[in-house]
Amino acid sequence: MARLGLLVALLAGCASAPVAPYAHPTADDVAPGEIALRQIRPGVWVHVSTSDLGNGLIYPSNGLVVRDGDGVWLVDTAWGEAATAALLDAVEAEIGLPVRGAVATHFHDDRVEGADVLRQRGIPVYASSLTQRLAAAEDNAVPSDSLAGLTVPGTAVRLGPLEVLYPGGGHTRDNLVVYAPGAGVLHGGCAVHEMARTHAGNVADADLDAWPESLRLVRERYPEVEVVVPGHGYPGGAELLDHSIEIVEAAQQD
């Protein structure tokens, strides 16, 4: 389940109105199995869930909810089946629109662990074929639907209101980023770190050599991005891409 490596790594180490860190839900605000929604742009919400990694460490994870007309799309499941069920309840109660589908940005359990819950509700979960294979090999929940064409760095597909980009290897070999062009919001997943992070984190499945160039490709493709949401921690702006490049390049020297 890739949790031990994540625990060790963690212990080691916008538009008209910028994202305010103090307003972003933290592990103190969200218990495991629960969910918090925070609207960051019109039609775009961050969903925050947490997991107990042991030794008293409760760690948060970010995904997105993006409006698509009279429905919404999810970027990543919540962290766990109970939290994903809570996410669906929160979307119904706070947004009031049905979930059309979801996309998983890589194979780790903080991105896919609720895939079976969504499938049981008739909600497709899209991912690259590589993510499906890696999730199955890790004995994680496997996204139900494959996105074709995401095999070469720089390739992208449209999924409702979202552009799903494969920038190349990074935090994992299969990591994707997801851009909501109508809102200027980029979900970087775990390829992108919050500003408070000073270490590359869990690199057990990483491609450290490719990671900085993958992030440069993202930066060049979306120069107009206004809000960048990392896989964990506080959102920010495009500076998160440069920050992540810096700390990954430092990790290459370790």
Q: Could you give the CA distance from residue 46 to residue 25 in angstroms, rounded to a whole number?
A: 9
| Whole-number percent of the chain with pLDDT over 90 | 88
Specify the pLDDT at position 221. 98
Range 3-252 has CATH code 3.60.15.10 = yes
Residue 4, pLDDT > 80, answer no
Structure-model confidence comparison of residues 3 and 189, the more confident one: 189
Q: Determine contact, residues 194/231, Cβ cutoff 8 Å.
A: no
- Mean of per-residue pLDDT scores for the chain: 92
Q: Work out the pLDDT band at 1, boundaries 50, 70, 90.
A: very low
Q: Determine contact, residues 63/88, Cβ cutoff 8 Å.
A: no
Cα–Cα distances in Å, from 229 out to 82, 93, 110, 146, 220? Answer: 23, 23, 15, 24, 17
Helix (H, G, I), strand (E, B) or coil at 46: strand
* Range 197-209 average pLDDT: 94
Q: Work out the pLDDT band at 55, boundaries 50, 70, 90.
A: confident
Domain spans, the chain = 3-252
Residue 150, pLDDT > 90, answer yes
Q: What does the DSSP 8-state code read for residue 106?
A: S
* Range 237-247 average pLDDT: 97
Residue 16, pLDDT > 60, answer no
Specify the pLDDT at position 56. 85
Q: Work out the pLDDT band at 193, boundaries 50, 70, 90.
A: very high
Record the tokens describing residue 113, joined without a space: 């662990």
Q: Work out the pLDDT band at 254, boundaries 50, 70, 90.
A: confident
Backbone angles phi, psi at 125, to 5 degrees: -120, 115
Specify the pLDDT at position 22. 52
Q: Could you give the CA distance from residue 254 to residue 164 in angstroms, rounded to a whole number?
A: 32
Residue 50, pLDDT > 60, answer yes
Q: What does the DSSP 8-state code read for residue 91?
A: I
* Range 33-60 average pLDDT: 95
Q: Could you give the CA distance from residue 68 to residue 2 in angstroms, rounded to a whole number?
A: 33
